[in-house]
């Protein structure tokens, strides 16, 4: 009799687990999604090419030193993606200290706190009125020894540049947040969960921006007044897509959802 009661209970429990896993996959790994701002209108604008059949020779000839490109289907990171769900990351790294940075181009402020505290208390949609130094986000500054069990499952894009060495930067940021315009060396950025809108200018075309204003503020106050010739290249990167940006290209980002992402910088 006890067995007869237990089996339906176990079956019910297993169905609940399956339902939870399916729900987590459907809603973006358990990460909170849409945030503030005119995200739908932004997402409709894309002036960066998408390529799903790009060869290395074409990459070097047409993009590596000339312009950004969105890469599709070059690697299978489904295992890495599963390990980046909210539940999985909290179970594995919840008590690990992470270093947060401010969304301010010229600020070097860093804050250390447990990863679980960041996820549960700070990872929320950004207030459109906040300044860059009011916003803390987790990107880069990764402890590669502590996070090695995660990074070993990531397959970076198969393209490289001669004389460079790849370095990973893993990040999680709330909806509405983003880094204002800055530049550095070339690299790739892959979306694992969520959507991130990118704005890009070539090295010779310095964008107009305030270092302590957020990307959301720039989009609201500055972008509408730009003439068509002054507007950046832009596009929303979806989960599973990879953006390549060449050396010294100015770029700013706006997370349209809670975003989990990893960048491969070529230094």
Domains of the chain: 34-266 (2.60.120.650)
Cite the beta strand spans of the chain per DSSP E.
50-51, 69-71, 97-102, 110-114, 136-139, 166-173, 187-193, 196-201, 233-237, 242-245, 250-255, 259-266
Identify whether the C-beta of residue 184 lies closer than 8 Å to the C-beta of residue 246.
no
Give 258's DSSP letter.
-
Tokens of 97: 């200290």
| Planar angle of CA 245, 110, 247, nearest 5 degrees | 15
The whole-angstrom separation of Cα 182 and Cα 194 is: 22
CA 74 from centroid of its chain's CA atoms: 18
pLDDT tens string for the chain (267 positions)?
Answer: 444 545 555 555 444 444 444 444 455 899 976 665 544 478 789 999 999 999 999 999 999 999 999 999 999 999 999 999 999 999 999 999 998 887 666 656 778 999 999 999 988 777 766 765 667 788 877 777 889 999 999 999 999 999 999 999 999 999 888 888 999 999 999 999 999 999 999 999 999 888 778 888 899 999 999 999 999 999 999 999 999 999 999 999 999 999 999 999 998
What are the DSSP calls for 184-217, one per residue?
-S-EEEEEEES-EEEEEE-TTSPPP--TTS-HHH
Q: What is the pTM of this model?
A: 0.85
């Amino acid at each position: 009799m006890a067995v007869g009661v237990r089996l339906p209970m176990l079956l019910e429990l297993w169905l609940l687990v399956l339902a939870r896993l399916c729900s987590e996959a459907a809603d973006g790994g358990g990460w909170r999604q849409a945030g503030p701002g005119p995200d739908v209108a932004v997402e409709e604008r894309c002036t960066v090419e998408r390529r799903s059949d790009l060869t290395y020779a074409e990459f070097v000839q047409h993009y590596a030193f000339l312009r950004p490109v969105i890469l599709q289907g070059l690697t299978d990171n489904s295992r890495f993606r599963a390990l980046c769900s909210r539940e999985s990351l909290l179970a594995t790294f919840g008590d690990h200290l992470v270093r947060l940075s401010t969304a301010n181009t010229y600020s070097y402020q860093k804050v250390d706190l447990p990863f679980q505290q960041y996820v549960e208390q700070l990872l929320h949609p950004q207030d459109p009125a906040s300044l860059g130094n009011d916003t803390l986000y987790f990107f880069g500054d990764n402890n590669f020894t502590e996070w090695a069990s995660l990074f070993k499952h990531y397959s970076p894009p198969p393209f490289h540049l001669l004389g460079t060495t790849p370095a990973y930067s893993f990040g999680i940021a709330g909806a509405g947040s983003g880094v204002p315009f800055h530049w550095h060396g070339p690299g790739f950025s892959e979306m694992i969960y969520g959507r991130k809108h990118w704005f890009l200018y070539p090295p010779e075309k310095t964008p107009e921006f305030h270092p302590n204003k957020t990307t959301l503020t720039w989009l609201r106050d500055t972008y509408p007044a730009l003439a068509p010739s002054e507007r950046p290249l832009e596009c929303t990167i979806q989960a599973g897509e990879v953006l390549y940006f060449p050396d010294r290209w100015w770029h700013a980002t706006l997370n349209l959802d809670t975003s989990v992402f990893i960048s491969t910088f070529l230094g």
